[in-house]
Structure formats: C-alpha cells, structure tokens
Amino acid sequence: MDAPDVNTPGAATRYTDTPARYYVIYACLLVLAGLQFFIATLHLDTSAMFTRMLLVAIVEAGLAVMFFMHLWAEKRGWFLFVVVFTVFVMLAMQYGWTDSNRMETGAPYTLKTGAAQQ
Amino acid sequence: MSAELTLEAHAAHHPPGMIEGLPPFVVPAKKMAMWLFIIADAATFAGCLVAYGFLRNGTPNWPRPFESMTNAALMTFILLTSSLTMLLGVRAAKASDRPAAFRWTMITTLLGIVFAALHIREWLELIHQGITLSSNPWGSPHFGAAFFSITGLHLLHVTGGVIVLLIVGLGYNAGRRNAEDMEVTGLYWHFVDLVWMFVVPFVYLLNMAQ
C-alpha cells in the first residue's frame, strides 16, 4: 500500500504510485463503463438490469475512490471514517423503497381506490 | 512550526489531542475539508438518485426516450479521460514540474468544457422534443423533473469544477497556488467523475428505448 508523506505540514501528500497504475485503473474504468452500456443492450427486466448496473457502478466508484482519490493510501483512521460514515448514510437513505413498491403494486394501499386492501 | 519538523517529533513535545496545527486523522486541513464536502455532496446526489428511483419505481408509464447511447458513451469517455489527465496534472505538481502540471490541468479543463457542451446540446435536443420540468410527450411528467434536476446538478458541479480548475491551474502556473491546492482540486474533479458513473446507468441506460 502506498504510504502518504504527512511529515511536512501544509505540503501536498506524496504517494508512491506510478503513472502505470493510473493507466491500468483508467483502462479498468473504461471496461466497466463499457460493461454498463453492454448490459443496457441485454433484454433484461428493469430490476435485473438495475441490479447489474448498480454492482458495476459500485466497483467503478470503489476503484476511483481508492486509487484516483488515493483513499487507499490514507491513514487507516481517516479511511475508516470516510468509508463507514459514507456507507452508513447511503444505506440509511434506502428506507422508502417499500413505499415506492406500494405505489406500483397497490399493497397494502392503492392509489387507484385510495382504500386499504384487506 | 518548522517545516522540517516531523509529526513524530512534534507529537513528542505535545500530549495527544493537544497538538496545535495538526489536523485530526493526520490529514491536511484542506484535504479534510474537501473530503467532508465530498461526503456531504455524495449524500446530496444519493438523495436525488434515490428520489428518482422512488418515482421511477412507483410510476407505471415511465418513459424511455433515449434512442442512442452514443452521446452518453462519449460523455462518459471524456469525463473518465479528464480524471486521468487530472491525476497526471497533480502528479506533475507534486514533482514541482510546473509546465506539465499546468498543461495537464488545462487539458482537464478543456475536457470539462467539451463535456458541458455535449450535455447542453443534449438538453437543447430534449427541450426541442417537448421535455420540460413539468411535462413531456411520452408519459409521466416526473421524467423531465427528475432528468433535468439530476443532470443539472451534475452539470453545475462540472461547470464549477471547470472554473476552479482554471483558477487553480492558472494560479499554480503563476506561483500563487501550491501542489496541495492542485491535489484538493483533483479530489473534487474525481468526485464529479464518480457521480457520473451512477448517473449514466440509472438516468440514461435504464431509460433506453426498447
């Protein structure tokens, strides 16, 4: 793992990675982006397509955050803070999905009648 | 405080938590501020995308107006490439290679401008087809609101990034900015790229005409 030089306050962090690594990550990101476009051409239902695209996007984002933004090379305390806090906030936003399904399927309430289904 | 003083030597003279001038987590203050901004901004975009997903999931006649992937693919390629050029610019700045850092930063800026131009051209085409914030010819009126809100927020970030890149790039070339400023600007630009990785599949590719 790259070690940042934080010994000089105010200076930019120095990483030991090389341009070759940048090109490899860039190529991976291009391939993954291409994979998303390929998935869009498959005749999948929306749910299956969404799941596949989300997985690819998460891998892409992980590569970008870890190596382009150098989070992987930061101190462990900062790395954990960013990852744990961000993931927690993202997950906390997912509580409303059951209600959007209710709008679509009408269970337990339906927009069409406005009445509770028994 | 001497610039040569190491953290360890500094810490040896001060109790933990009482060290003046040293940011928490041993992250430089500017970088920490940018990371905190990025986390907050990520929550903003995630909120927008979740709201969009909520609407899309709950709307039976959600339109799928995009006939071609070409423009989205080109924009994705440009933004990913701009992240690479930004990395090379930051690397050159850390190596004190001022001309190279300036050159890569200006290439990144140019790519950002091309991306924004393609985005605006796409918007104008959609507006010409009748999409507004409150209506569209194909079905749920929520589509226009969701599309323009999310892509508009991203375009705003790209535009802001281009302006900051110009300011920092020119300032670095003139000696008014340092490598840390370049690094922090690079963090922001990579984040703009990262957000696009989620906008493309969910806003464009899931709405391709079938």
Q: What is the pLDDT of residues B126-157, one digit of tens each?
A: 999 888 888 888 878 888 899 999 999 999 99
Residues 37-56, chain A, touching B (beta carbon < 8 A)? 37, 39-40, 43, 46, 49-50, 53-54, 56
Is the per-residue pLDDT at B22 higher than 60? no
The percentage of residues in chain B with a pLDDT greater than 70, rounded to a whole number, is 88
Question: CATH for B28-207?
Answer: 1.20.120.80
Buried b (16+ CB within 10 A) or exposed e, A60-91: bbebbbbbbbbbebbeeebeebbeeebeeeee
Instruction: Give yes or no for B129 touching A (CB within 8 A).
Output: no
Residue with the larger pLDDT of the pair B81 and A111: B81
Q: How many CA atoms lie within 13 A of B110 on its CB side?
A: 7
Å between A48 CA and nearest CA of chain B? 11
Domain definitions of chain A by residue range: 19-76
B137/B120: higher pLDDT: B120
Does position B110 have pLDDT exceeding 90, yes or no?
A: yes
Q: Is A116 helix (H, G, I), strand (E, B) or coil?
A: strand
pLDDT score of A92: 85
How much is the ipTM here? 0.85
Token code pair at residue B51: 């709201």
Residue A7 or A46, more confident = A46
- Binned at pLDDT 50, 70 and 90, residue B28 comes out as confident
SS3 call for B28: coil
User: Which residue type, as a one-letter code, is found at position B65?
Assistant: P
Query: Has residue A17 got a pLDDT over 50?
Result: yes
The reported pLDDT for the residue numbered A7 is: 43
pTM score > 0.90 for this model? no
Q: Determine the distance in angstroms separating the CA of B132 from the nearest CA of chain A, rounded to an integer.
A: 24
Query: Tens digit of pLDDT for each residue in A31-75?
Result: 999 999 999 999 888 889 999 999 999 999 999 999 999 998 888
Nearest to A11 by CA among B7, B188, B166, B84: B7
pLDDT score, position B2: 45
